[in-house]
Amino acid sequence: MKNVLTIAGSDSSGGAGIQADLKTFSAHGVFGMSVITAVTAQNTQGVFAVEDISPELIAKQIESIFEDIRVHAVKIGMVSKIETIKTIAEGLKKYKPDNVVLDPVMVSKSGYHLLKPEAKEALINKLLPLATIVTPNIHEAEVITGIKINSLKDMEKAAYLIKNMGPKYVLVKGGHLEENATDLLFDGNNIETLTTKKINTKNTHGTGCTLSSAIASNLANGYSIHEAVKLSKEYITTAIENSLDIGKGVGPTHHFYTLYKRSGVINE
Ligand SMILES: Nc1ncnc2c1ncn2[C@@H]1O[C@H](COP(=O)(O)OP(=O)(O)O)[C@@H](O)[C@H]1O
Ligand SMILES: Cc1ncc(COP(=O)(O)OP(=O)(O)O)c(N)n1
């Protein structure tokens, strides 16, 4: 069994953050561990409060895991503020995990700033160069590069600019595009296009968290980046197709659909 660590924020409603990450890890048959960076009070309708965990406690969580357990992959999500980013970067430099998947979480679908605006530069300068793969959505790619993205050509341009900031691979996610859900994977030489039709649902809470955790799981399980991204795109598509109409707002994706279907728990 491979061990995968998420360094991210807690989502009380279970659709995104640490909770989505751990469910995704379980669905991929890897052992999930967590370093919590912040606790959020949120549900399908919004984020209502956030309390950041102290840098000392974040450092201690990182140390406790790495000093004891082999970590095959790390996924990084909500990092909130400059001190949190510095602490995570120090931990990554010290323990040098093989695979680092960075989801540069900035603003929740409900519009809450999960990354303080003043922490943007630290995320770019300190975490991007340590990432095996970074997975910005369109808005995050715009903030990181400073360009406006309205088309696949613009996404390509952003992927080139972000690659030059230090990560080994860049996946620009197009879930917020009008037509298809097209993601672009750039390895420094070639752009690979992953396209699915856009699923007509409001229930997409935690899609970015789920995709990045699936990539981390697949890398830990020994797949190449290209294979890991392809399999993870298939996983998130099934999770969105079978997303759950829980709550009054944007519901979560279904992490275990394929597993339950295979085992007979779901028999429609
Ligand atoms: N309505 C949708 N139909 C199909 N795929 C989607 C849809 N929304 C998002 N995706 C896919 O989910 C993944 C996460 O993308 P996105 O929602 O853009 O990220 P984030 O949650 O970080 O904003 C991507 O692979 C994207 O293409
Ligand atoms: C604690 C926490 N972390 C990350 C997010 C953002 O999740 P994401 O998958 O990028 O998209 P939405 O959940 O905003 O749809 C979050 N909400 N909470």
Q: Domains in the chain, please, with CATH? A: 3-263 (3.40.1190.20)
User: Is residue 10 pLDDT above 80, yes or no?
Assistant: yes
What pLDDT, in 10s, does the model give residues 200-209?
A: 999 999 999 9
- Does the Cβ of 37 fall within 6 Å of ligand 1? no
pLDDT at residue 175, rounded to an integer:
84
Cα 29 to chain centroid distance, Å, stands at 18
Max Cα-Cα span within the chain:
49
Q: Best substitution site from 152, 197, 207 to test ligand 1's pocket, by max atoms within 8 Å of Cβ? A: 207
Structure confidence at residue 261 (pLDDT): 84
Residue 204 CA, ligand 1 centroid: distance in Å: 7
250 in the Ramachandran plot: left (φ > 0), alpha (ψ -120 to 50) or beta?
beta
Kindly give the distance from the C-alpha atom of residue 208 to the centroid of ligand 1, in angstroms, as a whole number: 6
Is the pLDDT at 263 greater than 90, yes or no? Answer: no
Is there a catalytic annotation at residue 145? no
Residue 259 DSSP SS3? helix
pLDDT tens profile 21-37: 999 999 999 999 999 99
Query: What is the DSSP secondary structure assignment for residue 23, as one 8-state letter?
Result: H
CB atoms within 10 A of CB 68: 8
pLDDT digits (tens, 9 = 90+) for 37-72: 999 999 999 999 999 999 999 999 999 999 999 999
Report the first-to-last Cα separation within the chain, whole angstroms.
Answer: 31
Residue with CA nearest ligand 1 atom 5: 181
Of 141, 38, 48, whose CA–CA distance to 81 is shortest?
Answer: 38
Residue nearest ligand 1's atom 21 by CA: 208
How many other CB atoms are found less than 10 A from the CB of residue 146? 8
Which residues lie across from 35 on neighbouring strands?
7
Token pair 């003043």: residue: 118
The catalytically annotated residue of 23, 37, 135, 209 is 209
Give the tens place of pLDDT for each residue, 78-120: 999 999 999 999 999 999 999 999 999 999 988 999 999 999 9
Active site residue 37: no
Phi, psi of 70 (to 5 degrees): -70, 125
- Annotated active-site residue 209? The verdict is yes
Q: Cα separation of 36 and 58, whole Å?
A: 7
Pocket test for ligand 1, best of 103, 183, 211 (most atoms within 8 A of CB): 211
Tell me which ligand sits closest to the C-alpha of residue 112: 2
Rounded CA-CA distance 138/265 in Å is 36
- Say whether pLDDT at 17 is over 90: yes
Question: Using an 8 Å Cβ cutoff, are 220 and 2 in contact?
Answer: yes
Question: 109, 126, 173, 233: which is the annotated catalytic residue?
Answer: 173
Q: pLDDT at residue 266 above 80?
A: no
CA atoms within 13 Å, Cβ hemisphere of 241: 11
- Answer whether 69's CB lies under 8 Å from 3's CB: yes
* pLDDT at 268 (0 to 100): 66
Measured distance CA(80)–CA(82) in Å, rounded: 7
Q: From the alpha carbon of 205, which atom of ligand 2 is closest?
A: 15
Model confidence over 212-262: pLDDT tens digits? Answer: 999 999 999 999 999 999 999 999 999 999 999 999 999 999 999 888 888
Q: What is the pLDDT of residues 166-200, one digit of tens each?
A: 999 999 999 888 789 999 999 999 999 999 999 99
Measured CA to CA, the distance from residue 63 to residue 133 in angstroms comes to: 23
Indicate the pLDDT class of residue 14, thresholds 50, 70 and 90.
very high
